[in-house]
């Protein structure tokens, strides 16, 4: 059921190449490419033609893509989404568990800011380097996975969370201690040969520009993950998850792949963290708590464990849920009967509870996550109205 395909009748896979295609059908591939291209265009137009968002007719068309709050939410979805995908590689594909993902996310954020501030490495390069730093730390803290699994591994990664979180406050030279550190905007550096110096070609200094940058990084990271999963290493991850003993019998080096999975997962967390840092412009140790780690787990459970698509769907859900709830609370508070202190104060808590309730409802009604629900919706329309 979960692998339900939308392949038309009579369209068979005849080569291994077809069997491992990322998109099942021609249509789904082009739909995705068109959707992303359209997204780029819609965001680009207000950048290239300032004022278009204020002209009468075009404003309704381009307004949402210029709206600062929507863009800010979309950027959030990008950096959380990259980190969540990393955790999904570890938890969903390799069957390991990590309660320390937020710490690696933080290392990416601080690492990129540190490399840029201290060594003057352009942000655009310090982001992947920060990913590598996070990966190195992830390999280190993932090494217990060589020997332990399940709940014991969860506790070992919990230790990573606490140790690293504490280091964020103490290692002043790296993180700026309790004051945190500043992070510059992402810039595309260029070399001016006539002047003989480095100049800024293009700065992603506004939200629409930064969104395009974050979106590009997200697409690259997602394509990389989707490709990883159809490579030899990706299949090894899945084998380790499905039955580690059989995997070992087949000749898969369990230690190598378990730790490698931690490394890759932390790399993704690091990239996500670096984007987060450079977007906010400031990194504070306060942000990378165990709660964030658990939120990452929540994202991939809601989105669908072991699904690349699920990671981004879960992230979008998690980003939008508080906003939708806040909107609902606002509406109740704007009514006459709702605008009493008891109700408005109570609603604030109701909003938080609703997020918890949503997670429980998902676990009960949709344990395979949004990715599965998405497939069902597609199947429904594909077969409509002759679904039986």
As a whole number of angstroms, the distance between CA 189 and CA 197 comes to 10
Whose Cβ is closer to other proteins: residue 32's or residue 169's? 169
Compute the least distance from the CB of residue 244 to other proteins, in Å: 35
Which residues would be at the binding site for other proteins (CB under 8 A)? Answer: 67-69, 71-73, 76, 166, 169-170, 176-180, 182, 207, 276, 279-282, 284-287, 320, 322-324, 326-328, 330-331, 341, 345, 348-349, 351-352, 365, 373, 376, 380
Token duo for residue 349: 């808590």
Closest CA to 276 of 231, 218, 328: 218
Compute the least distance from the CB of residue 198 to other proteins, in Å: 22
Whose Cβ is closer to other proteins: residue 94's or residue 116's? 116
As a whole number of angstroms, the distance between CA 179 and CA 257 comes to 38
Compute the least distance from the CB of residue 175 to other proteins, in Å: 11
Compute the least distance from the CB of residue 202 to other proteins, in Å: 18
Whose Cβ is closer to other proteins: residue 76's or residue 112's? 76
Token duo for residue 214: 């974050």
Compute the least distance from the CB of residue 16 to other proteins, in Å: 36
Compute the least distance from the CB of residue 106 to other proteins, in Å: 12
As a whole number of angstroms, the distance between CA 135 and CA 149 comes to 20
What is the sign of the dihedral through the CA atoms of 47, 53, 55 and 56?
positive
Residue 7: alpha-carbon gap to chain centroid: 29
Compute the least distance from the CB of residue 80 to other proteins, in Å: 8
Whose Cβ is closer to other proteins: residue 142's or residue 287's? 287
Range 363-375 burial, b when 16+ CB lie within 10 A, else e: eeebebbbbbbbb
* Residue 350 to residues 104, 327, 357, Cα–Cα distance (Å): 31, 13, 10
As a whole number of angstroms, the distance between CA 222 and CA 72 comes to 20
Compute the least distance from the CB of residue 249 to other proteins, in Å: 41
Closest CA to 373 of 294, 304, 275: 304
Closest CA to 290 of 379, 164, 197, 128: 164
C-beta of residue 128 within 8 angstroms of C-beta of residue 273: no
Compute the least distance from the CB of residue 282 to other proteins, in Å: 5
Token duo for residue 52: 């278009």
Whose Cβ is closer to other proteins: residue 242's or residue 352's? 352
Whose Cβ is closer to other proteins: residue 187's or residue 207's? 207
As a whole number of angstroms, the distance between CA 304 and CA 294 comes to 15
Whose Cβ is closer to other proteins: residue 81's or residue 287's? 287
Quote the strand ranges of 158-304, DSSP E.
181-182, 187-192, 197-203, 282-283
Whose Cβ is closer to other proteins: residue 192's or residue 330's? 330
Whose Cβ is closer to other proteins: residue 284's or residue 293's? 284
Closest CA to 291 of 101, 120, 131: 101
């Amino acid at each position: 059921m979960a692998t339900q395909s939308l392949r038309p009748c009579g369209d068979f896979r005849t080569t291994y190449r077809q069997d491992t295609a990322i998109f099942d059908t021609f249509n789904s591939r082009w739909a995705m490419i068109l959707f992303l291209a359209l997204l780029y265009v819609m965001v680009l137009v207000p950048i290239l033609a300032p004022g278009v968002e204020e002209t009468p007719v075009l404003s309704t068309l381009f307004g949402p893509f210029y709206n600062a709050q929507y863009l800010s939410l979309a950027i959030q979805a990008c950096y959380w989404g990259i980190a969540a995908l990393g955790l999904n590689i570890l938890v969903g594909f390799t069957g390991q568990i990590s309660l320390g993902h937020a710490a690696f996310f933080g290392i990416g954020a601080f690492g990129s800011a540190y490399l840029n501030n201290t060594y003057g490495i352009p942000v655009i390069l310090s982001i992947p380097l920060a990913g590598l730093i996070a990966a190195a730390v992830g390999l280190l803290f993932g090494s217990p996975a060589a020997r332990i699994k399940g709940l014991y591994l969860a506790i070992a990664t919990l230790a990573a969370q606490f140790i690293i979180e504490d280091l964020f406050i103490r290692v002043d030279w790296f993180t700026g201690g309790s004051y945190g550190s500043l992070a510059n905007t992402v810039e595309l550096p260029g070399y001016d040969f006539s002047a003989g110096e480095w100049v800024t070609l293009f700065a992603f200094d506004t939200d629409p520009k930064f969104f395009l940058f974050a979106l590009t990084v997200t697409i690259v990271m997602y394509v990389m993950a989707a490709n990883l999963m159809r490579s030899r290493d990706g299949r090894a991850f899945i084998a380790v998850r499905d039955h580690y003993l059989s995997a070992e019998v087949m000749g898969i080096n369990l230690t190598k792949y378990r730790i490698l999975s931690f490394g890759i997962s932390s790399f993704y967390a690091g990239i996500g963290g670096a984007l987060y840092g450079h977007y906010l412009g400031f990194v504070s140790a306060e942000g990378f708590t165990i709660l964030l780690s658990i939120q990452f787990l929540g994202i991939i459970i809601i989105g669908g464990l072991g699904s690349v698509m699920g990671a981004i769907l879960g992230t979008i859900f998690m980003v939008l849920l508080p906003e939708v709830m806040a909107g609902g609370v606002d509406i109740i508070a704007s009514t006459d009967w709702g605008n009493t202190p008891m109700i408005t104060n109570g609603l604030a808590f109701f909003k938080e509870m609703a997020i918890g309730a949503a997670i429980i409802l998902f676990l009960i009604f949709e344990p395979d996550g949004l990715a599965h629900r998405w497939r069902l919706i597609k199947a429904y329309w594909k077969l409509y109205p002759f679904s039986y």
